[in-house]
Homo-oligomer: A and B are copies of this chain.
């Protein structure tokens, strides 16, 4: 059972937005046993959409589309879909009621004909109610291929996937179990890892696929397999992991599974009953926003100080002017003082601090662009490490965030 995702919208093809819908849909489909064969992004253009639908139908069993369902003239997905199915649009009473209700309850602007026209759907379509917006999802079938059309607004699409599309797919089709296990490593390049584990890689059965995903200091190793016997798929992958881990114990950091590293840290802190605060200079709030992106962060995350200007390091974090003058703002002494400062100010058990020069020019220190110091304060001690992360600003910041999280994870899992 294979799917293709078609995202529709000129804004994708001119690079005005990053298509993040596809990754969400692909991950959700994988979770219920459907592999995604291809992702195709096309323009808001009738001919182009028709061609894409026709090609996709030849390749896959399920076509999931997003975009082009709005009420304005540039939105043509619905009429084009009707044309592809040689169908006409009819008014759906349930959707009319839903739209009228939305306006009555939440929307102060007048209800226009174009809003009511959102209830026009192809007569052959099954309507998937969209409780977060006006455009309903549509489910249509042609010669054994299912076509599902959803709005492009991410939260509307996500709610439709969760509440309508995924349950209906799981109920209608007998789907296999797909398992991806991702091993996080830190410290060696992908070619060196591949060289070291080549005997193991060569003996992998065809049913298990291995991928190397390098990303700024970390390499993730992903093992994938699928089958209708869920227990067997799990046992087979686990057996391979058990053989692999002793060979990479020095660089093994943990498993990614569905949790990101900040979620793993958060869960562990909650388990330990401990709290965390952060003092960020060169990472500019990115570490805090990683933690707070997940619901429940308030159980362990007290807050953060983004000390972008060195006066903030002094006034809020209590780093002394003498220390800054003697060692410069980019130094082990200052980053450790920042960690202790924020730990004390916020009264947290642990603290992370970063200071560095992300470039492109030297800031208020003489440190080379790319120089970063990261400190961890624990209930008992404080320590820091020095890094040189290259010359590109974006890369320096991302590497610093990754490394700070890795250091924190190592700290709380070391026992």
Q: Which residues of A contact B (CB under 8 A)?
A: 10-20, 22-30, 35-44, 48, 52, 55, 70-74, 107, 109-110, 112, 114-115, 132, 153, 155, 159, 180, 182, 188-192, 194-195, 201, 209-215, 222, 224, 278, 284-289, 291-293, 295, 297-298, 301-309, 311-312, 315-316, 345-347, 358-361, 363-364, 392-395, 397
Contacts and interface: CB of A to CB of B under 8 A. Distances in A.
A297 B397 CA distance: 14
A306 B309 contact: no
5 contacts: A15-B27, A18-B23, A112-B195, A155-B394, A288-B306
A13 to B, nearest CB: 5
A194 B71 CA distance: 9
Contacts of A153: 214-215
Contact of A15 (B24, B291, B303, B307): B24
Given A194-B114, A213-B11, A306 B292 contact: yes
A311 B302 contact: yes
A112 B191 contact: yes
Contact of A297 (B14, B22, B25, B284): B284
B315 A211 contact: no
Given A10-B209, A15-B24, A316-B316, 8 more contacts: A14-B27, A15-B28, A38-B52, A109-B189, A285-B287, A297-B308, A302-B311, A303-B309
A256 B159 CA distance: 29
A41 B25 CA distance: 14
Q: How many copies does the complex hold?
A: 2
Contact of A212 (B70, B182, B297): B70
B286 A289 contact: yes
Nearest to A401: B289
A308 B298 contact: yes
Contacts of A107: 189
Contact of A285 (B43, B159, B182, B285): B285
A100 to B, nearest CB: 14
Contacts of A346: 309, 311-312, 315-316
Contacts of A209: 10, 74
Given A298-B363, A308-B302, A309-B303, A191 B16 contact: no
A359 B26 CA distance: 26
Q: Which among A15, A39, A132 has the highest number of chain B CB atoms within 10 Å?
A: A15
Contact of A72 (B194, B287, B302): B194
B15 A25 contact: yes
A360 B295 contact: yes
A292 B303 contact: no
B72 A191 contact: yes
A305 B316 contact: yes
Given A112-B195, A114-B195, A180-B16, A11 B211 contact: yes
A15 B3 CA distance: 13
B291 A284 contact: yes
Contacts of A19: 18-19, 22-23, 39
A358 B292 CA distance: 10
Contacts of A358: 295
